[in-house]
A and B are shown apart, each in its own frame.
Chain A
């Protein structure tokens, strides 16, 4: 617990029971959930013994069906059966229109702004709600397998996910009633799954070729600390493109002209099957649309080589970004179903000059790593030194005059991070200033992703250029942004937790949550009270641990009393107070102990500076 445990990371004063934690890979085509049991990460299986949950949700009038059952309904009822919904997370109407060909759903809502909604027979839903349904199905699987509710989860996201997409994922977890311990980058999870944190220090490249995306990440491991040095890739390059290349070859060989949708689909399925079979066989028979032929591995290799070369270019660029040479890479980890293609393994091996690691199932590896991280974050492995340090995937910027984007935090900056920049007014007597927060690498705001707009009002009238408006960007460990603005001479402040332009407001989430609980017949009041009681116990536990450790050394008798009084009131109130009362009691204790938390932090910094190793600091 907390800063309260500053000198011994992860250690808890009171021996607590094991917390149930899981890692979730919320994927475009399928999702998985894994947990650590008897020291080993394992994927949890459904009632039929399958680890994968197809990321498909079917909305009927009354019912919601997920996974294989939904997949089975896709052909007969495509409009009410939602798949590939991850592509819509954190996206606005304009993006959706661009994806229209791939996603045949009926979108409703304003042309501009707001979260796109999809019309289904079960009501209008957002991508966030659909993802929450998948998370709920996985959590339910965990509950029935493990016999209890999950205490917390780690959910993985692609390394290139921007703020809006991360926020959307976090909101989905909240909607599913899950405590999110961390959003973890998928490649980092993969490296953890291979236990590389147990091995030697070095540089790790994670090559992740999925169905529709390619990701390359460079991690540095040193004494249990994973540091993401750089990430790169291509969000529109993957195994599907291989299928298309094979499909076009079939169309060319068969001399087919214009295709209808059904035939095109059959050709793609045949192409995929051929690709999969060619991982084991040297040649395969193809029989589709009245055409029969043979595809051998040499031809396949020719077809997919340009795609693989594009992934290797991205690797080179990322190596350069990180300032390391290809020979410095110690381990290469393979992730994603498309890395089963033999030529991929061969070319990647040649590029890095070493055999890539592909022992674990490339579909499961991300979920397994997430489970290991969840176990640590939940506090089940107090001795673990593992720490994952991440970088910001895309630059965060602000709109300046003329629609230009000015970067405030550059991509690949280590997070958490806070940066401030000063701006000024450009008209005499100007009392308000509009802020537009964007994310991306391009110079024009129009080419970047719009994250949020807000306004700083109440600036005292001054001559142009006299006001000093300080805008601060704070990014947390999950890569989520909050922005504040302050006029320095007057102290006028404005603050937003960036609710992305394409996100849901807290109010909307609240009402969705309410609706879903009413649907599930759960008592909202009871649940909120239970959550507040858990939080109260956590706060009491943390303060006790801290006081036991250094209360005597750092606090006078009066100061100690000022903390112990609200602490006792809170503890006595846990089982008897209402939700609101508990909230107030927690706040009272937090306020009373604020100076103490700060003092402990100062104290431990001073100790760290004295060159003392952390483990030498005395713990009582």
Chain B
């Protein structure tokens, strides 16, 4: 069983409206409700055939949940269900100002990690990046609502860039906290 119904997307699976600003609590509840029904533990004593199907079903629910929970994946998925082809793992953007910003942010992380007060400066950067991500999310939503596919694709890429930088900062924070 690939999907319960081919026309059904992940939003529909969870009974949610197909928009970017979903309520994370609603999503989590819907996921738990479905898992409560289909998880293989509900079929611990069942026949092999039924156990196989429940594994597939639970996997689908997890896949859908992981996709919608993550803002970048969610933005890509919203474009996908609108029939927009997204190149895999695109690493380019034509927005030069944004590109410069990325380089500056990377440098800021580098100098923060070497500073005396590394932890504080990194935490400040973390806060700054969080706000920047929120801005980019709002921009993505407006592009999507306006039906401006090209800038929505661009917006989704920018979200991905920011997410990568946040992950790098996370790594630095890991190291700092370990010391």
Contact = CB atoms under 8 A, between A and B. Distances in A.
Interface of A: 1-7, 9-10, 19, 152, 181-182, 222-223, 225, 227, 313, 316-317, 320, 377-379, 385, 387-389, 413-419, 474, 476-477, 535, 538-539, 542, 586, 590, 594, 597-598, 601-602, 604-606, 608-609, 611, 613-614
Interface string B20-60: 00000000110011111111111111111111011111111
Nearest to B43: A2
A602 B38 CA distance: 12
A541 to B, nearest CB: 10
B173 interface: yes
B68 to A, nearest CB: 13
B150 interface: no
B138 to A, nearest CB: 21
Contacts of A5: 42
B45 A418 contact: no
Interface string B103-139: 0000000000000000000000000000000000000
Contact of B47 (A2, A317, A379, A416): A2
A interface, over-half SS: mixed
A421 B33 CA distance: 29
19 contacts: A2-B43, A2-B51, A3-B50, A9-B37, A222-B28, A222-B32, A316-B177, A317-B178, A378-B45, A414-B66, A416-B58, A417-B62, A418-B56, A477-B58, A538-B45, A542-B46, A598-B1, A611-B15, A614-B36
B50 A476 contact: no
A389 B49 contact: no
B140 interface: no
Interface in B1-17: 1, 4-5, 8, 12-13, 15
A500 B13 CA distance: 35
B33 A614 contact: yes
Contacts of B38: 6, 601
Given A594-B49, A614-B37, A601 B57 contact: yes
A416 B40 contact: yes
B46 A601 contact: no
A156 B51 CA distance: 21
B50 A4 contact: yes
A615 to B, nearest CB: 10
Given A413-B66, A415-B62, A602-B4, A320 B174 contact: yes
A606 B8 CA distance: 10
Contacts of B15: 608-609, 611
Contact of B4 (A7, A385, A601): A601
A4 B49 CA distance: 11
- Specify which of B32, B50, B60 lies most central, judged by the most chain A CB atoms within 10 Å of its CB: B50
- Specify which of A5, A417, A535 lies most central, judged by the most chain B CB atoms within 10 Å of its CB: A417
Nearest to B50: A2
B36 A9 contact: yes
B59 A601 contact: no
Contact of A181 (B44, B66, B177, B178): B44
B80 interface: no
Nearest to B1: A598
A198 B4 CA distance: 33
Nearest to A223: B32
Nearest to B60: A418
- List the 3 closest A-B pairs by CB distance, nearest first: A2-B46, A377-B44, A2-B50
B46 A477 contact: no
Nearest to A386: B41
A310 B169 CA distance: 22
A1 B41 contact: no
B145 interface: no
Contact of B45 (A3, A377, A606): A377
Contacts of B43: 1-3
A511 to B, nearest CB: 23
Nearest to B28: A222
Contacts of B173: 320
A413 B66 CA distance: 8
Contact of A379 (B29, B45, B48, B56): B45
